[in-house]
Each structure stands twice: as structure tokens, then as C-alpha cells.
Structure 1
């Protein structure tokens, strides 16, 4: 029997229609990558997205994209019933065997209920660590958390990104999750030596000035202001800041204003996914200043080019320290020291680079991780 899979993500539409300048993050790109790989293998794939004025049903390549409700418009409480009816209608149009949602949402409980009503399977993929907490870490309203808890407990499968997330789900929901790590397309036809040459060429004519990179939406939990301060503290290096407005426009504008005052820091703004690889490829190291994440896609994007990571707190399952592909510093002052050390020790940087290059190819190839999803979904519909 041909497997039919539908992914639910109201904010993923810009990954299909590139003319739409809409926000989309890491959770969305992971679903899109898996969906494209499944479609390439002959699986019937659909995507339920938000209403951005497009036709009810569109086809992009081998993926059917179905419109549901309009995100971020009007009063969510007043439009609740109408939005739910639109989601249910979209699910019936998709007529999938398995539905998948990723990251905490107001709609998790409803999706689980609708899937059961349609006699289909519902799966949920963890997007960020607070998805594993019964109170959603205080980030979401209580009613939203109640619906979310219902959805998690009714899901036919919950997929975790890390062993730590599996542990938290067991402790907080009594749910035994399936571990499927994030995936990324691995470039072919290049070697690690080629990657080192790219970095070396980027330094030519600039007195071998090291360039550090920060990528993400400007949200308070990501703390981009620490990257700006890092640039101030290490004037002998260059810094590139990439990102767009998060959930607080005033906060975003303050970060941009502060960044413009730092001579060795360049603020690029938002960069579309299809144009961002060159920044990862030329960076000396990726900097992460967040205090809360899941498994950052920025890590995978940098590691495929052998770019190591320096992070204050985010080291999923201790991978960065254990695999030697960067440093978890534990504090901002240690981040400053580690960045300076990396600047002065090219052999250390190259060693980390080789480790990152090898690790991501062994553990995060999207072809392998998509196969994990396929096997899980096939087991579910065989039950």
C-alpha cells in the first residue's frame, strides 16, 4: 500500500512559494526536508499550511500544499471554531495515513482529536526543549498547554531530537518517544580540504582576520546582544550577524542599532535559506548565545562545511564537547576566552572542523533520517 503522509505547519508556506516574504524557522525546514525526501521516494506527501491568499490546493513539485486558516490575524479566541473547521477540512482533503506536526502549538490537541476521528495516525515531533515540559516552560498560555498535553498523550508516536528530550518526555508525560535526529542535505563532490580552502580564501587580503557568525531570529531567548558584545570585546576579529524580526520589534530594533555602532560587526539582516550557505562556508566559527533551543539547525548548516561551534549553553546530548566539534563555555566570559583561543590556534580550529565534518555526515544525513520517519510511519499504519 502506498504510504500517504501529511505535514501540518501553518508557517511553512514560504518554503514553497518563494515570492512570499514570510517568517519560517527551524521546525518548518525540518518538516520540509523530510517531506521532499519522502516525495522523492514515491511517497504521496501533502502539507497543510496557513491561508496567505493562495488557492485552496496547490502543487509544488511532488508535494500537494493545502490551505487552512490565516495565522496571526484577528482574535484567536473568537475565530477558534472557524479555524478548527478549516484545519479539519484540510485534513480531509489530504486524506493521509499519517499526520505530523512539529513544535508546540495551540493546535496539537485538536490535530490529535481530528486524526482519531478520521481513523488516521497522528505523530508529533519535538521542536524545542520546552515541548517536553507539561507546563510548556511558562512560554504558552494555560489553555494552550492543556490542549498540548492532550495532544501529546493521544499521539500515536512522539519523536524526540535528543536523548535528553526522550528523558524529559518520559518524566513529564509518561511517554516513550522515538529518537530521530534532525537531518540536512549533505553536499557531494567536496572534501574537508576543500572546506578549509574556502575559509583560507575568505581570509586573503584581510590579514587573516577571523570571522565569527551568528544566525537566528532576534528573540530574547537567543540573546543576540551577547554576540554584539563579543564583537566589542574582540576587535581583532570580524563578526557577521544574520537574522530578522522575532516576536518583539522594539527588541529587534535595539539590537540592530547597537550592532551598527560596532566597527568590526556587520549586520546583514534576514537571508533566505537558498542564499545562506556561503556565510556558513566562509565562517571561522559559528557562535550560539541562546539559553533555550531544541537541536539548532544552524549547527547542522555549519558542520556540513566543517565550521565548528562555540556555544554558551546549548550542547544537545553533549555532542559538541564529546565529539570535539567546538566548545560549550558555560558563561559569556569563557566564550570570549574560547573565541580568542580559536583565533590564535589554527590547528585547533582545523581539528574541530574535521570532527564537525565527519560527525554530521555520519549522524545527520537527511536521507537516513527520512528513512527513520518512513519506517516509523509504516509501523504505525501496520498496527
Structure 2
């Protein structure tokens, strides 16, 4: 098959969907398919060393459409949320090129949903315009041949009849990480929807037990510069900045547990990374697919901040409990989140729509 993948690229931005698209492109190329990866948001055709072709395009509907139509793929795998989605989907439908939409976030499937922004009341007009734009873009699903979601709980929200649940795939390979004190780990790109301030608050509660809180991620929104200032955070809190996926794996492997504060989204890769490293997850609110409760691999606190803090402390100091749950998590992850399984499932769906 001649397959086009559209999303930002892991060489330019470290994110969950970008990592999954790279795994997919590499896996499909290894299976003999011709892969062209279109990376919006970059001008010029930068050199990216991969076993597949990477074309950097301007972040406009016109540029993406032009490049896709010039390449004439057999199918387009779209994992770029709803950015320019309707325009591209309509252009592809007009030329009989099928599109498979890969939903990475619950907002991809909600007609009016947009991610929150800071600014309070002053941001309301801007949020209203963004909601109108999101609703208009949602109309692109009329021209989607199949939809893939990384979370089975999102399937009922799909506006596409041909919909499939395909779990993300992850590698357990890691770069060793050393820290002189016991710690819990928080990993995500930093913005309002991730609620990093809740982790900082929990870190304060761990102070009396000699346990640190390590935060990893790229600051993507304004207003979080204080995380880099030791005078504005607990002395046992440490912001380490962005890290590669292999470095994150090593950091999680050496931690007591994984702490999650993000609002409901899709299925954060960090869950899978933590479980593959044998670490349980303590989540403020979100339990993707209900796996944390179902498999007994951590705790979910229903948005109760007080309970969340208590559970993080309880799990962090009870090493026997966290070790047992971590072993369950590792076994479950190895059985469920294979990269090869993910690649073969997506390949089958792409072949079906062609």
C-alpha cells in the first residue's frame, strides 16, 4: 500500500500521538508498505532520518491538501486531531482517496469540545470562537471511511460507522536513570488540561516522608514558569524539563509510582510506559478503559483532591503494595500494548478501506 500519515513528527515535538505515528510508520515500512509522513507546522523539507519519507509542510489546509494530492496515496491515516480536518477530508473525498481518522483525545469526537486556556473571563470570547470552529471541523467526519480510537470507552462517541479500538503500542526499552532519594514521577507536556499544580501540591505532602516529586515535560502554556523556580515550589519538588521516551522509561522504572493529574483525554502513553516498567498509577480522575481499577494496578480518586493526596502518600510509602501492583501492571502491559499488534491491526483496517 501507498500510505500517507498526517501528524506532527517526533523529530520536531515529543508527544504521545507523534510517538505512536513514528512506531506505526516504521512498522508499516518494515512490512513492505510505501510510507510518506506529512508533518505540518514546518516550512521547507527538513531532513529526518527514518526508513520512511518525511515531508514537512506548512500548517495550512491548502498546503496539506496540495502535498497529499501530489503524492496520491492509496489511503490517508490522519492523526492530527481536527486541525484543518474538514477541508482536507472533503478534498480527499472529491478525489476518491479514503481517510482513516485516528482519535487521540476525547475532544476529537465531541462536536463542540476545545481544550481549556488560561485567562479567565477575558478568554471567553476566544473560547466561543474556538468552539464554533471545532463544530464546523467536526463535519469532516462525513468523509471519513473508518475511525480508530486508542481507548475502547470512546467508541460510543464515534460519528463513523466503521470504528475500531486499537490499543497504543509501546517499547519497554529504557535509558537508566539515577536519583539520590526515593521519588514519585509525573510526566506530561505542561498546560492547563494536565493540572501540574495538583502534583506540586501532592509533592508537599510527601516531604515529611523523605520522598521527592519529579516532574518531566515541556512547558507548552504560559503561566507555568514558576515550576522552574525553586523558591516557588516545595524543596522536594524538581522540574526536570522535557525528556525522550527512553529517558522517561528509565525515570519511571526507578520511581516508587506514577502520578497522574490530567483531565480525561485519550490514553496517555505514560500510563503504558509506567506499567511496562512495573509501576502502578495513582490518578486524580482519569482511568483509561477502566484498566487501573479492573486490573488492580493503582488507584483512581474521582477528582477528589484530598483523597488523591492521601492515596499518593499511602502508595508511595507502602513499597510492598506498590511492588505487587507494579508486577500486575507489567504483566498486563506486556500482554496488551505490543507495537507489532498495533501495527498489524492498523494495517488491516487500512487495507479494508482501500
The reply on whether 1:354 has 2:354 as its aligned counterpart is no
Alignment of 1:49-198 (within 5 A): 49-50=39-40, 52-55=42-45, 60-69=49-58, 71=59, 83-137=60-114, 141-169=130-158, 173=159, 175-187=161-173
Separation (CA, whole Å) in 2 of partners of 1:239 and 1:148: 40
Conserved 8 A contact 1:186-1:365: no
Q: Provide structure 1 residue ranges, at least 5 long, that are not aligned to the other structure.
A: 17-21, 72-82, 189-197
TM-score (ref. length: structure 2):
0.88
Conserved 8 A contact 1:231-1:239: yes
The reply on whether 1:25 has 2:2 as its aligned counterpart is no
The reply on whether 1:7 has 2:5 as its aligned counterpart is yes
Separation (CA, whole Å) in 2 of partners of 1:138 and 1:217: 14
Separation (CA, whole Å) in 2 of partners of 1:279 and 1:59: 27
Distance 1:87 1:164, change over 3 A: same
Distance 1:370 1:174, change over 3 A: closer
2:265 aligned partner: 293
CA RMSD of aligned residues (A): 2.4
Three-state SS of the structure 2 residue aligned to 1:181 is coil
Mean Cα displacement is larger for which, 289-298 or 110-119?
Answer: 110-119
Separation (CA, whole Å) in 2 of partners of 1:105 and 1:258: 38
Separation (CA, whole Å) in 2 of partners of 1:335 and 1:341: 10
TM-score (ref. length: structure 1):
0.82
1:338 aligned partner: 311
Distance 1:234 1:142, change over 3 A: closer
1:319 to 288, 291, 299: 291
Q: Provide structure 2 residue ranges, at least 5 long, that are not aligned to the other structure.
A: 117-126
Large movers: runs of 4+ above 6 Å:
none
Separation (CA, whole Å) in 2 of partners of 1:328 and 1:51: 36
Deviation at 1:283, TM superposition (A): 1.2
Distance 1:52 1:160, change over 3 A: closer
